[in-house]
Every structure is written in C-alpha cells, then in structure tokens.
Structure 1
Amino acid sequence: MKTRTITGIVALLVLLPIVWYGSWPLVVGTCGMGVIGVSEIFSMKNKNFFSMTGFLTSIATILIILPKKYLSFLPENLDIWNVFFLFAMTLLVMTVLSKNEFTFDDAGVFLLASIYIGNGFHYFLKTASYSFLMVLFVLMIVWATDIGAYLVGKQFGKTKLAPIISPNKTIEGSLGGMILSIIIAILFVQLYNPLNLSILMVVLLAVLISIVGQLGDLTESAYKRYFGVKDSGKILPGHGGILDRFDSMLFVMPLFQLTLSVLNLI
C-alpha cells in the first residue's frame, strides 16, 4: 500500500503539471503513454512488441491520438481513417504472408487496441485543449468513484457486481463510488463552472462518468482475465501498467466529449 501511495503521488506530480502546461510536452507524453499501452497489449498476448507489427500498431495508435493540427503532413484528401484502413489491410495481408503464424485473431486484437487506446488518449488531449480544469473535473469524478467504491465496498460490500470478471467489486461499492463522485462534482463546479452547468446536469454528468468509468475498469479486468495476467504492465510500482491506471479514462473521455457535443455545450 505504501509503494502504491508513493507511486500515485509521484505520478500526479509529474502528470498534472504537464497537463496544465499543455502544448507539445502533453502531446508527446500522451503519445508515449499510448505506445506503452500498446506494448502492454503485445506483452499480454505474448507477442514481440519490437517487430513490424508492433511498429505499425504504435504508428496507427499515435495517428489516432494526435490532434488534427498535427496531421497537416498528410495529403489533403487523405484523412486519418484512410490511413487506418491501410493499416487494417496491412495486418490482414500479414496473416497470409506469415502463413497464419500471425493470425486473424492477432490482427483483430491489435486493430481494436489501436482504436481503444488511441481514441481514449485523443479525447484526453481534446479535453485538455479546452482547459486544465476540465480535465481535472473528469479525473476528480473518476478518482472519487474509485475511492468511494473501495471504501464503501470494503465496509459494506456484500453483493458481487461481476464475480466472474472482478470478484472483489460489489454493487454497494459501485453505488458508494457513484454517490461520492456526485458530491465531488457538485463541490467542484462551485469553484469552476465555465459551461454554466446546472446542478441537475452536473449530477447527470457525474453519474454518467462514474458508470462509464466503472465499465472501463471492468472491461480491462475482463481482458486481463482472458489473457491470464494480474496487471497489464509493471511500469508503475504498486499500480501495474498504463492500461491499469487509465482504463477508466480511456472509456470516459470519449463519452464525456460526445455528451457535451450532443448537448451543444462545446
């Protein structure tokens, strides 16, 4: 627990100033985390990351992560999804050239990984482009959910939420995390509310972020269980890998931006 706490504090001391400063250091750091996330998928699948497949998957993920202004080097009529289509076709052709040593299953996993990781970090950058505090608003809700779920689940948890996927999570803990996230969100907008959100809207956003964040956490638990690993990586002592720490955020950031767009708030 001590190692976990120290790692968490150090990570925040590094991450938050970079997010606050923004610009190219944030873009480079985010792309770096995306590539590490890809390497963790390769490791869980027992595939060599330092290979042509690893290189192509990393490039595809970075291209998805990058804001549009950084993609000006692409031909005018070629957008990122055209490039991604070429990546997909290349992986599929590799199943033929490798005589199925590189399988259709491998191609599917790496395609999905690039979308899952790339899209999540892309919308993290997009949220940061609005303001540091908007990122902090989302992260505070995610962290409050985790803390509330742990504390309430440990004290009152009896009903298993997803016993096959994550035996320690309980419905009571999930609800406790959601309630704490609502409280934190309401307190946060008393200090920072650039979108002039009503209390009702803040509550609804907190509930949405809390639920989606927990689904992201459970999704990572599901594929780790499928691959038979405890953690996605070891880069963060006491926490595991990048995917272990950003599993909720990779789900939350795209849905957060989509919700704001649908409501015409951005």
Structure 2
Amino acid sequence: MKQRLITGIIAGTIFLGFCILGGYPFHLLILAMSFIGYYEFVKMIKIHPFSIVALVGYLGVLMFMFPWELLHITYTPTLEHGIWLLMFLFMLITVFSRNKIGIKHISLLFIGALYVGIGFSYIAGSRNSPDDHGLFWTFLILSCIWASDSGAYFLGKMFGRHKLWPSISPNKTIEGALGGVMVAIIVAIIFAGFSGDILSVGRAVLIGLTCAVVGQLGDLIQSAYKRVYDIKDSGKLLPGHGGILDRCDSWIIVFPFVHIVMLLPY
C-alpha cells in the first residue's frame, strides 16, 4: 500500500502538471502513454511487440493521436477514415504474409489499436476543448473517475456484502459500485458550484453518473480480458499500480463516451 501511495502521488503530480501546461507537452505525454498502452496490449495477446504486424498497430495509434489541430494541418482525416485505413493495412498483411499472419491476429491488434488509440485521443482532445475550458473539463472527468474508484473501494470495504460480478472481478461489490456512483455525483456537483455558468447542476449530475457507471464498466472490461490471458497486471511501469492500461482502463472508456453522448464539447 505504501509503494502504491508513493507511486500514485508522484505519477499524479507529474500528470496534473502536464495537464495544466496543456498544448504540445500534454499531447506528447498522452501520445507516449498511448504507445506504452498499446505495447502492453500487444504483449498480453502474445504477439511480439515490435513485429511488423504490431508496428502497423502503433501506426494506427499514432494516426488517431496525431495533433492535427495543434499543428494547424488543414487536412484532418475523420475517425471513420482512420478506422478504415487501419483495417485495410491489417488486411493487406494477411495477403502479403500468405496467411502466416491470420485474421485472428490482426483482429486482436486492430481492436487494441482502436481501444487504446481512440481512447487516449479523446483525453488529449478534451484538454484542447474548442470552448477554451479544456482544463476544467479534463479535471472534472478525471476527478469523477477517481472519486468513483475511491468511493467504490472504501465504501465497498465498509458496507460491501453482495458481489457485483465475481466471475470477472471477485472483490467488487454492488454496495461499493453504488457508493462510487454517489461520490462521483457529489464531486461533479462541487465542480458545478465553482464553475460559474460553465456547468449546471443537472449536467453535473449526468456527468458524475456517467463517469462512475461507464468508468466501472471500463474497469470490468479490462478485468475480463486480463482474466482470459491469466494476467494480474498489464505491465510493471507503475509500481503498485501495474501498467498504463491498469491505471487508465476507465479513462479510455469514459472520455470517448462523454463526448459521444454530447455531455462535453469536442
């Protein structure tokens, strides 16, 4: 627990510092995190992380994460274009390798590139919000996620009696999950109170609820696929926390979702 706390404080301070800086420094940090996250994913599915087929996945992550707007590049490929081009490149590999690299391998790598690349791209995009309140929105979403995690953990320890999904994550409880939702909503309402006219209380409640529910689902998603591969952590970069995907499993699900349902500007 001590090691976990120290790592969390150091990593959190560095991340929040880059978040405050914004611009290129923050985008480069998120790009580095996305590459490490994809590296962890590729290793987990038992593919060499620097094979040619894996490098196509890194290229896809870069395409989703490329700072088109920061560099003022007029041609910006749509998300639909990026997904199709990445699929096309992966499918070509099956042809040129004469099916030595089969559809199962490229399917996993393709899903990983979407999961990681698009997830992290929305984190970077939130900080560069078009309404000039990117720092506020980013802190709000992160705070709601962290509040949900902490609330679920501590209230689950205190009041947890009924297992939430024991076959996937045996330690999670229904009471803890509900507690996490409640704490996230409270945190979002506090943000609304200090936001002036940026965030209404009603919208804050929706954001807190969404971050908590979708964030916990993101955590369960990672627990499910790690259980398939019989691993505890996706990596060892963060002592006491595991890898980048272990730390950001909720982030890369929540950030795209809140934009898709138009709770945040993008």
Aligned to 1:102: 101
Q: Compute the displacement of 1:256 (Å).
A: 1.4
- Which of 127, 134, 137 is the equivalent residue of 1:134? 137
The TM-score with structure 1 as length reference comes to 0.91
Aligned to 1:89: 88
Any residues of structure 2 matched to 1:8-47 within 5 Å, and which? 8-47=8-47
Q: Distance between the aligned counterparts of 2:204 and 2:57, measured in 1?
A: 37
Q: Distance between the aligned counterparts of 1:260 and 1:80, measured in 2?
A: 16
For the residue of structure 2 that corresponds to 1:231, the secondary structure is coil
For the residue of structure 2 that corresponds to 1:144, the secondary structure is helix
- Which of 218, 221, 224 is the equivalent residue of 2:223? 221
Any residues of structure 2 matched to 1:170-181 within 5 Å, and which? 170-181=173-184
Matched, 1:120 2:119: yes
Unaligned runs of 5+ in 1: none
**Contact preservation (8 Å) 1:67, 1:126:** no
**Contact preservation (8 Å) 1:38, 1:113:** yes
Q: Distance between the aligned counterparts of 2:188 and 2:98, measured in 1?
A: 53
Matched, 1:195 2:198: yes
**More helix, by proportion:** 1
**Paired AA for residue 139 in structure 2:** L
Q: Distance between the aligned counterparts of 1:80 and 1:207, measured in 2?
A: 27
Aligned to 2:154: 151
For the residue of structure 2 that corresponds to 1:38, the secondary structure is helix
Q: Compute the displacement of 1:16 (Å).
A: 0.6
The TM-score with structure 2 as length reference comes to 0.91
Any residues of structure 2 matched to 1:160-175 within 5 Å, and which? 160-175=163-178
| CA 166–77 in structure 1, closer or farther in 2 if over 3 Å, else same | closer
Q: Compute the displacement of 1:115 (Å).
A: 1.0
Q: Compute the displacement of 1:77 (Å).
A: 9.0
For the residue of structure 2 that corresponds to 1:167, the secondary structure is strand
**Contact preservation (8 Å) 2:23, 2:70:** no
Aligned to 1:59: 59
Matched, 1:186 2:185: no
Q: Compute the displacement of 1:104 (Å).
A: 1.0
| CA 22–86 in structure 1, closer or farther in 2 if over 3 Å, else same | same
Residue identity over aligned pairs, in percent, reads: 36
Q: Distance between the aligned counterparts of 2:77 and 2:12, measured in 1?
A: 38
**Contact preservation (8 Å) 1:149, 1:177:** yes
Q: Distance between the aligned counterparts of 1:96 and 1:63, measured in 2?
A: 23
Q: Compute the displacement of 1:78 (Å).
A: 6.0
Q: Distance between the aligned counterparts of 1:71 and 1:96, measured in 2?
A: 35
Q: Distance between the aligned counterparts of 2:7 and 2:76, measured in 1?
A: 45
Q: Distance between the aligned counterparts of 1:79 and 1:25, measured in 2?
A: 24
Deviations 1:84-142 (CA, angstroms, capped at 9, x unpaired) = 42332222232243344322111111111111111111111111113212111111100
Unaligned runs of 5+ in 2: none
Q: Compute the displacement of 1:154 (Å).
A: 1.0
| CA 21–87 in structure 1, closer or farther in 2 if over 3 Å, else same | same
> How many aligned residue pairs are there?
262
Q: Compute the displacement of 1:17 (Å).
A: 0.9
Q: Distance between the aligned counterparts of 2:233 and 2:239, measured in 1?
A: 11
**Contact preservation (8 Å) 1:67, 1:122:** no
